[in-house]
Structure 1
Amino acid sequence: MDNLTDPLAGLDDVPWKSLHHAYGPAVDVPDQLRALRSAEVPVRREALSALFGNVYHQGTRWGASCHVVPFLVALADDPDTPDRAAVADLLRSVVLGDRRDDELPFDPRRAFAAAEGITDKQAALVERHLEAEDLFDHEEVAELADGVAVRWEADAFHAGARHTDRYVRWLTDPDPQLAGYAAELLAWFAPDEAALAGLIAVPDDEAHAATRASANLTLGHCPVSSEPIDACLHQLLAAKAEVVRVTAAVGLAYRLGDQLPDQALDILTDARTSDSDADVPGWDRSVPGFVALALHRLGLG
């Protein structure tokens, strides 16, 4: 991003007073987003915690949540923002909620089917009664609440889907945590040519091992048939870093099933008895967990 560009440009143009989060009108959100740029660590931590509670409250998204997404993307994209990986972590939570890798490949149409037909007017009605704490006194409105909650999830997801070009750019960021988060984020959106090229191109060296491992898992979950993906993962079976070799084998197991090459199966079998408990940035499941799941898919777990 051009350093002359303000990542929070347009923040005051959003009608925060008419948007709601977990605790009412989202009037406090602009200052919380601004505080993520503070030079003071306690200020940033407090703002991050407040935003988690407001727009991602125990996994629930709200009407304001989707409006936060483009600003979080812009903040994480700006090298002058402190703690960019922490911002990306919040972004992931707002866009995806508590979804885990067992929902991959992700089908948003199926996941958000309950939101179909929910109107802005209905969502606003539910928000008003939630704020008044009398939702369950109005049966017809209460019946809308679940559909409206899914509508808010869908809005946040689609807001995140508009920025996959940024996530691809983060794959080359020197911060391995941010780059790893970016690779995992890309697993949730329909793969395009740029995303696949970026994931394949992540270097296989010590500095990029964590990012490469995250990219391997994303490629493994990719729902498209692709010789370049399979060739990339096969080549990485010989990588120096164990976490890269193992995640490449996991990815191939997911993609090839019983056509898995012996080299990959040997890596998975050895990894099953390894003492390694490595995690990969952006993924909730540990590497041993992925190994166990891959072997289970092969009928060996």
Structure 2
Amino acid sequence: MAADVPDRLRMLRSPNATTRDGALSWLSGAVYHQGSRWPVSAAVVPFLVALVDDPDTPERESLVSLLRGVVLGDAALPFTPDFAAGDELSPDDLAEVARLLFESENPHDEAPAEYFEAAAVRWAADAYRAGQAHVTSYAAWLSDPAVAAQAAELLAYFPADEAIVDALLASVAPASANLTLGYLSGFPAVDKHLTALLDAEALDIRMTAAVALAFRLGPDLPGPALDLLVDEKPPPAPAGWDRSMRGFVVLALRRVGL
């Protein structure tokens, strides 16, 4: 199966939509399935990033979705990576688990469940670390309307520095960027930026700014932000976020103490 991955990746640039859809579906099953990652998963990350980096690649938003699945699995925010169990396995251990999974008719009869669980953690760790190596690309995507909202959501799962924060503050998808800023700690300029957005014309920008401030400030949330959360009907969540805006508002009010 791994030998077929390069050809499927090349098909993602095909001018034929049916070919692209088939390649995307195949890759989704081969490198990410229901939260699980495999030995090949981390290896595809740089190629997916390169495809999204190229504005001539068709349907780049679908590739960002696949990239997110490969890198993060079914992780949810707030996210603190814990891959200690997988780090205990040697390369020989991982190779043996892969052999059992892909060649043995009854792999769980030949090794304890903990062995397979640790390998799953390791493959997830490898994929996450491969994704972390490309945060500068995700930050660059924040200026691209086609993928900016998804890029902002993706960045919520990785440590941020000043450059990443500056890119989020300037994103062309401010509502999505606001939510990610809510999950970051520090960076005092963020609070000033979000407070200014409480007067934005677009409701989704105002609402996500209020949510982010609640996440960051808790009971010290300013009154205008609290009024927004209590009085306004939540709009749809930005692209790339699975939780509804109503769900974000509930979480924000809990942070405030209501």
Q: TM-score range by the shorter chain?
A: over 0.9
Q: In the alignment, what sits opposite 2:152?
A: 183
Q: How does 1:141-180 map to 2 (within 5 A)?
A: 142-175=113-146, 178-180=147-149
Note the C-alpha offset of 1:244.
0.4
Aligned length: 257
Query: In the aligned structure 1, how far is the partner of 2:160 from the partner of 2:168?
Result: 10
Conserved? CA contact 2:220–2:256, under 8 Å = no
CA distance in structure 2 between the partners assigned to 1:234 and 1:80 by the alignment: 37
Q: Secondary structure at the match of 1:173?
A: coil
Match of 2:99 among 114, 128, 143: 128
1:221 to 167, 170, 183: 183
Equivalence for 1:73: 49
Q: How large is the RMSD of aligned CA atoms in angstroms?
A: 1.2
Does the CA contact (< 8 Å) of 1:268 and 1:291 recur in 2?
A: yes
CA distance in 1: counterparts of 2:111 and 2:4, whole angstroms: 31
Note the C-alpha offset of 1:50. 0.8
Aligned AA for 1:107?
Answer: T
Residues 1-301 of structure 1: matches in 2 within 5 Å?
A: 25-101=1-77, 104=78, 106-108=79-81, 111-131=82-102, 132-140=104-112, 142-175=113-146, 178-202=147-171, 208=172, 211-222=173-184, 224-271=185-232, 274=233, 276-300=234-258
Matched with 1:205 is none
* TM-score between both structures, scaled by the size of structure 1: 0.83
Deviation of residue 277 (structure 1)? 4.7
Contact 2:152 2:168 in 1 (8 A): yes
C-alpha displacement of 1:118: 1.1
Q: Distance in 2 between matches of 1:184 and 1:164?
A: 12
State the shift of 1:47 in Å: 0.7
Is the Cα contact below 8 Å between 2:169 and 2:177 reproduced in 1?
yes
Q: Which moved more, 1:260-269 or 1:129-138?
A: 129-138
Q: Matches of 1:252 and 1:277 in 2, distance apart?
A: 17
Give CA-to-partner distance per residue, 1:144-197, whole Å, 9 cap, x none: 11001000000000000000110111000132xx11111111111110111011
How far apart in 2 are the matches of 1:98 and 1:133? Answer: 28
C-alpha distance after superposition, 1:111-155 (max 9, x if no partner): 212112111110110110111232112135x43110010000000
1:28 partner SS: helix
Cα deviation for residue 283 of structure 1 reads 1.1
Paired-residue identity, % = 52
Please tell me whether the aligned partners of residues 218 and 257 of structure 2 are also in contact (alpha carbons under 8 angstroms). no
For 1:243 and 1:286, the matched residues in 2 are separated by 12
Helix, strand or coil at the partner of 1:139: coil
Which SS does the other structure have where 1:46 is aligned? helix
Query: Could you tell me whether the CA contact under 8 Å between 1:100 and 1:284 is conserved in 2?
Result: no
Question: Under a length normalisation based on structure 2, what TM-score does the superposition of the two structures give?
Answer: 0.96
Distance in 1, Cα, partners of 2:143 & 2:21 = 26
